[in-house]
Every structure is written in structure tokens, then in C-alpha cells.
Amino acid sequence: MRNITFIIVFSLLLLAAFLIPRQAEVAQRADYEYYLNEEHLQKERQELSSRAGFWEKKLEAAPGNFVFQKKLAGLYANGFKLSADIHLLHRSDSLLQEINTRMPGQVGVLQALAANAITRHAFREAESHLREAVEIGANKFTSSLMLADVAMERGNLLEAELLLKDIASDAHFDYLIREVKLHDQSDNLDEAVRTMEKAAGLARVSGDDGILYWALSNLGDMYGHQGKVRKSYETYLEALSHYPAGLHALKGIAWIAFSHDGNTEEAKTILSFLQSVHPAPDYHLMLAEIAAYEGDSAAEQKSKERFIREASRKVYGNMYQSYLCLLKSEGGAAAEALAIAREEVRERPHPMSYHLLAWSSFQTGDKEQALEILEHHVLGKTGEPEALYHAGIILGSSGRKEAARRQLRAAREASFELGPVAAEEIDRRLEQL
């Protein structure tokens, strides 16, 4: 009798183990397996290349036609996003520059040049195009939005706020998403989320699935930052249901599988899919992080080296400077990192760039310099977990234990966002303090 009861209970438990997914695991392959298929991206690429073909043919028949050149420039820039082929971005730029030289003063061209410059992280160049566009005057709304983008990237929140105040309109998706960014940068995440939800509402009725995907996948990121991992996951899935070729949402799911679920194999599977369809350097970073978590330092090193090799290619210009700086500062090339950080501060005097400057100074052994930069340009000026984390380490090693604890504890709140490796490191540091 007892045996039978035992067998029944055991069988039930066994059954339950199979039927009920482990509560802790959020990412379930069955939910997103459909999207791990290159066909979705192929379809988008084919559409884009057929569109480019249409305008290329027209341009061939009318060489130098600036209307067709503009169209192509836009399509090539989008092509870069779909394919990670940086040469497309350069082709886009050279078409726009050709127009701008021959027929200067077109606001749309200046705005497109600025957009490309922002993609290349050439913020000062973007700013000069936009200032020219504002001076000319047409479509000031868009110029102001983009100037606000640049101001925020360059750490000038007050300027961004003034620019946006002038054109405030809750009816415009384009405006709302800048407001989101402003809230985010002012460390008001809850307000940023509320505003992004409003923007997603507008995206829903705009009829544009790409825009809706964009809003939802960013909302997914932000729920993650709030620590609402399940909500983040569900939002990524919804984003993908509107745009199955969405790589950013899949990347977010990979991060959930890793950082929340601890399911490194699943995360690696998703990332290897992403790498196979979209050969951008970015994915090596997450792979390095995963390898570190698994204690596989050879794999970690390999991923980091690949990232550095690929992201350092001249064609990328400034795009990956901040990551290169971080990797180099911790990888025995602190002097090189310091040089990059100085350049970053010039291009983008944002608290996060100063944080890089402090961190790489610290890695070269210049604690005093690191502390001074922290105090003047970082502490209290950004709530980015990575800055808090590094600030905590710098402060701790300078004997400022109480301040260090404050920073590290604040960073610890964002452990999902920072990932398990950093979270563990924070705990270790906190114990030592």
C-alpha cells in the first residue's frame, strides 16, 4: 500500500516536472522558435533590395538625379541595419554628400546626413548638419528632435529639455520617444516607461508595424531595467509578432535566458542564430559575458578578442569606441583605453564617457585622477548601473568605503541589467568593504 502510494506520488511528481515548466525560467523556446529562422530577415532584405533595385534603375537612366539619390540613400541606410553591412552606410553617406555639394541647403538631406552621423556616433558632425538645417528653417520639428538626440548623447540634458519643450506634443510618436529618452537619462525610469507605453499606443494606430515593433522592443528593454523580467519577455514576444525579423527583441530574449534564467546554452543558441544572420560585432560581447559566467576563460578571451578585432575596423569609425574602451581598460591595454576615453569625452561629453575616462584612468593606476573625474562629472549625474558599479570599485579602492557601498548597492539593484557576472562581483566587493 505504502509502495503504491509512493509510486503514485512519485509518478505524479515526475509528470508534473515534465508538464509544468520550471517557474524560474522565463524564456521558453516554443514561444520564439518561429522567429529563429532566417526567412523572416530574408523577406525584409528581399523587399529592401527590390526597392533599391527600383531606384537604382531610375538613377541609372538619369545619372545624378538627386531625388532618386535621396531615396537610395535612405534605403541603403536601412539596408545597413538589416544586414550589418557597414559599407551600405558609407554608400548612403556618399550619395547624400554628393547631393549636398551640388545642391546645398536641403533640410531633408542635412537631416539624413545627421541621422547617418548619429549611427556612426559622429555626434559633432551630426550637430553641425542639424544646426545648418535649423538655420534654413523648414521642418524644424524634425531638426529639433534630432538636435535633442544629439544633445542627450552629448550629455547636455538641459539643452535637450529646452529643445523638446519648444515642440512638445503628446500626439507625435516622434516627440514622445524623445521624451522617453529624456526621462531615461534623468533616471526617471517609471516615467520613461509610462511615456513609451503612450508612444506604443500611437504606434499601434499608425498602421506601421516596424514602428510598433520598435516601440515594443524598446519597452521590453525598459521593463527589464525595471526588473519586470516576465513582462519584458512578453513584450518582446509581442514585438516579434508584429515584425518577425526583429533582431533586437531576440537579443533581449537571449539576455533573459542568460541573465535571469541562467540558461546559458539557450542564450548561446539564440546568439549564434543572430550571428549567422546579422554579422555585427555586438554579439561577441554577450558571448564573452556568458563565457565568463560559465568560467570558460578561454572562450571569454576569444570572444573579446574577436569583438576587438572586428569593432576596431576602420569602417566602423566611432561606433564601438565605448565598448573598445571598456574591454581594453580591463584587458591590459589601459593606456590605449585612456586615449579612446579622451576622444569619447571630446565627441560626447556625457557622464558615461567621463565614467570611461575615470575607469580607464583607474586601470592605468591613476586613482587620484579617476576620483577627481568621478566627483566632477559622474557621481550624481547618471544612474546607469555600469557607472555606479565602476564608481563603487574606484571609491572602494580609495578607502571611501561608505560612498563605495552606496554606489555598489545602487548598482546591485540592477543586477538583471548588469548580468550575473557583475552581480557576483558586486556582492564580493560589498563583502570586502
For 314-323, the CB contacts below 8 A with 24+ separation are 315/86, 315/87, 315/90, 316/86, 316/120, 316/281, 317/120, 317/121, 317/122, 318/120, 318/121, 318/122, 318/347, 319/119, 319/120, 319/121, 320/281, 321/121, 321/347, 322/352, 322/353, 322/356, 323/285
Sole binder of another protein in the list 84, 147, 157, 222 (CB under 8 A): 222
Question: Would you count residue 424 as binding another protein (CB under 8 A)?
Answer: no
Cβ proximity to another protein: between 110 and 403 the closer is 110
CB of residue 3 to another protein, shortest distance in Å: 37
Q: Are 97 and 130 in contact (CB under 8 A)?
A: no
Residue among 370, 307, 382, 329 nearest 157 (CA): 382
Sole binder of another protein in the list 85, 234, 294, 310 (CB under 8 A): 234
Does the CA dihedral 236-285-87-145 come out positive or negative? positive
Question: Would you count residue 85 as binding another protein (CB under 8 A)?
Answer: no
Cβ proximity to another protein: between 240 and 403 the closer is 240
Cβ proximity to another protein: between 153 and 266 the closer is 153
- Footprint of another protein on 144-183 (CB under 8 A): 145-146, 149, 153, 169-174, 177-178, 180-181
Question: Would you count residue 266 as binding another protein (CB under 8 A)?
Answer: no
Length of the chain equals: 433
- Footprint of another protein on 389-408 (CB under 8 A): none
CB of residue 38 to another protein, shortest distance in Å: 20
- Footprint of another protein on 353-382 (CB under 8 A): none
Q: Count the Cβ atoms, other than its own, within 10 Å of residue 300.
A: 19
Q: Which runs of consecutive H residues, i.e. helices, occur in 168-258?
A: 173-185, 189-206, 209-225, 229-242, 247-255
Q: Count the Cβ atoms, other than its own, within 10 Å of residue 311.
A: 19
Sole binder of another protein in the list 67, 162, 335, 433 (CB under 8 A): 67
Sole binder of another protein in the list 155, 244, 246, 252 (CB under 8 A): 252
Cβ proximity to another protein: between 265 and 368 the closer is 265
Q: Are 43 and 245 in contact (CB under 8 A)?
A: yes
Distances (CA, A) of 172 to 132, 277, 391: 24, 33, 38
Sole binder of another protein in the list 23, 50, 63, 298 (CB under 8 A): 50
Question: Would you count residue 28 as binding another protein (CB under 8 A)?
Answer: yes
Give the x-and-dash track for 94-123 against another protein (CB under 8 A): --x-----xxxxxxxx-xx--x--xx-x--
- Footprint of another protein on 268-287 (CB under 8 A): 282, 285-286
